[in-house]
């Protein structure tokens, strides 16, 4: 088996630019989403699992700690689920996930759209789309 | 700078990237699948009403659940592998072994979930 040695340039030679920051952001936000989802699952277990809440509902809460994810199920007491604390956790997950996802879509588009003009258009659309999804998502998290 | 590829679709499909290539493609499919699902899901809960109920009925169907769970689970596990090997670049040498571990984690979890989804779809 051939072993390839990875090329390690020091940071000073490599330089820091936007793409490099987004590259590391994609990795760190993945870890952050793992932590947030685990945190929400633990919260769901504390608040609801002891009252015979089923696993699917616990996971639905875990993937997005948002009130509308439990209010249609047979959770007896809605109050602990709609505190500003959980809305803030939900907002944080929304922001991290939207940035991670939209950047991922831009990376995919860059593989197929290669003209500078096209890439500019992709970036413009992605920024508009990202702001729209964040505003709508925050509205859903904080008002419904 | 304009990139130009001289690879036809036929030769691209015959490209033997094997394990890493397969995870790359599935990671991409999973990412796009989740992006579409989350977008529709947020918009549906924002709009509500009949359109919201219609969107709900789509992603409550068992076929869609099998698909979206594949997207989420594979993207999460493969993403964790990529994150670990990128933060500790020496581990990239072992990426083929890591991919085997990844499948060993993915397949049992996914298999159990699909079994439960189908069992629920059959009404019991």
Those of residues 52-81 in A touching chain B at CB distance below 8 A are: 63, 68
| % chain A with pLDDT above 70 | 91
Q: Which of B38, B46, B76 sits opposite A101 (nearest CB)?
A: B38
- CA B119: distance to chain centroid? 22
| Tokens encoding B12 | 């691209």
Of B38, B45, B82, the CB nearest to A144: B45
pLDDT given for residue B94 in this prediction: 86
What's the per-residue H, E or C state across A97-117? HHHHHHHHHHHHHHHHCCCHH
Q: How many CB pairs under 8 A join A and B?
A: 49
CB A97 within 8 A of CB A36: no
Mark yes or no for CB contact B93/A144 under 8 Å.
Answer: no
Among A31, A104, A129, the strongest candidate for a mutation testing the B interface, having the largest count of B CBs within 10 A, is A104
Mutate to test the interface with A, among B20, B30, B31, B42 (most CBs of A within 10 A): B42
What pLDDT was estimated at residue A54? 79
Write down the pLDDT at residue A33: 93
ipTM of this predicted structure = 0.82
Question: Does residue A3 surpass a pLDDT of 60?
Answer: no
Task: Calculate the average pLDDT of chain A.
Answer: 85
- The model's confidence at residue A1, banded by pLDDT at 50, 70 and 90, is very low
Average pLDDT over residues A109-114: 86
Residue extents of the structural domains in chain A: 17-143
What is the rounded distance in angstroms from the CA atom of residue B82 to the CA atom of residue A27? 8
Residue A6 has pLDDT above 60, yes or no: no
Picking from A41, A42, A38, A138, the residue whose alpha carbon sits closest to that of residue A98 is A138
Q: Using the 8-state DSSP alphabet, how is residue A66 labeled? A: -
CA atoms within 13 A on the CB side of A47: 23
Q: Which of residues 80-139 of A touch B (CB under 8 A)?
A: 97, 101-102, 104-105, 108, 114-116, 133, 136-137, 139
Q: Within 13 A of B71's CA, how many CA atoms are on the CB side?
A: 17
* CATH classification of the domain holding B94: 1.20.1300
- Listing DSSP states for B64-84 in one string gives HHHHHHHHHHHHHHHHHHHHH
Q: CB of B34 within 8 Å of any CB in chain A? A: yes
**DSSP letter string over A67-78?**
GGGTTTTT-S--
Query: How many distinct helices (H) and strands (E) make up chain A?
Result: 5, 0
Number of domains making up chain B:
1
Alpha-carbon Rg of chain B, whole angstroms? 18
pLDDT tens digits along A43-93: 888 887 667 777 888 888 888 888 877 776 777 777 788 888 999 999 999
pLDDT for position A20: 85
Alpha carbons B75 and B92: distance in angstroms, whole number:
18
Residue range B82-103: mean pLDDT, rounded: 88
What distance separates the 2 farthest-apart alpha carbons in chain A?
60
Q: Could you tell me the end-to-end alpha-carbon distance of chain A, in angstroms, rounded to an integer?
A: 57
Instruction: List, in order, residues 6 or more apart from B21 with CB less than 8 Å away.
Output: B15
Distance separating alpha carbons of residues A136 and A108, to the nearest angstrom: 24
| Shortest Cα–Cα distance, B31 to chain A (Å) | 7
In this prediction, residues B98-102 reach a mean pLDDT of: 91
Mutation for testing the B interface, residue in A24, A69, A109, A133 having most B CBs under 10 Å: A133
Q: Phi and psi of A66, rounded to 5°?
A: -130, 135
- Output the CA–CA distances (angstroms, integers) from residue B7 to B4, B10, B14, in the order listed: 9, 8, 11
pLDDT at B36: 93
Expressed as residue numbers, the domain containing B22 is 16-121
Phi, psi of B23 (to 5 degrees): -65, -35
Average pLDDT over residues B107-111: 94
Is the confidence at residue B101, as pLDDT, over 60? yes
């Amino acid at each position: 088996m051939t072993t390839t040695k990875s090329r390690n340039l020091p940071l000073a030679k490599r330089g820091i630019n936007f793409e490099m920051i987004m590259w590391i952001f994609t990795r760190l936000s993945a870890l952050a989403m793992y932590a947030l989802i685990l945190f929400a699952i633990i919260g769901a277990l504390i608040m609801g699992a002891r009252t015979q809440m089923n696993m699917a509902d616990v996971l639905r809460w875990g993937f997005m700690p948002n009130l509308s994810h439990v209010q249609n199920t047979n959770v007896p007491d809605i109050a602990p689920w709609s505190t500003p604390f959980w809305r803030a956790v939900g907002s944080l997950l929304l922001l991290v996930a939207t940035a991670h996802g939209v950047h991922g879509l831009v990376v995919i588009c860059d593989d197929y759209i290669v003209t500078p003009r096209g890439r500019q258009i992709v970036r413009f659309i992605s920024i508009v789309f990202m702001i729209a999804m964040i505003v709508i998502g925050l509205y859903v998290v904080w008002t419904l | 700078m304009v990139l130009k590829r001289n690879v036809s679709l036929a030769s691209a499909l015959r490209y033997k990237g094997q394990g890493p290539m397969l995870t790359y493609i599935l990671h991409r499919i999973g990412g796009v699948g989740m992006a579409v699902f989350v977008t529709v899901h947020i918009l549906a809960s924002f709009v509500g009403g009949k359109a919201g109920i219609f969107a709900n009925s789509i992603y409550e169907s068992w076929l869609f659940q099998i698909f979206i769970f594949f997207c989420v689970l594979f993207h999460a596990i493969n993403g964790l592998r990529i994150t670990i090997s990128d933060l500790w670049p020496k581990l990239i040498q072992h990426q083929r072994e890591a991919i085997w571990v990844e499948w060993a984690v993915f397949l049992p979890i996914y298999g159990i979930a699909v079994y439960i989804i189908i069992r629920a779809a059959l009404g019991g």
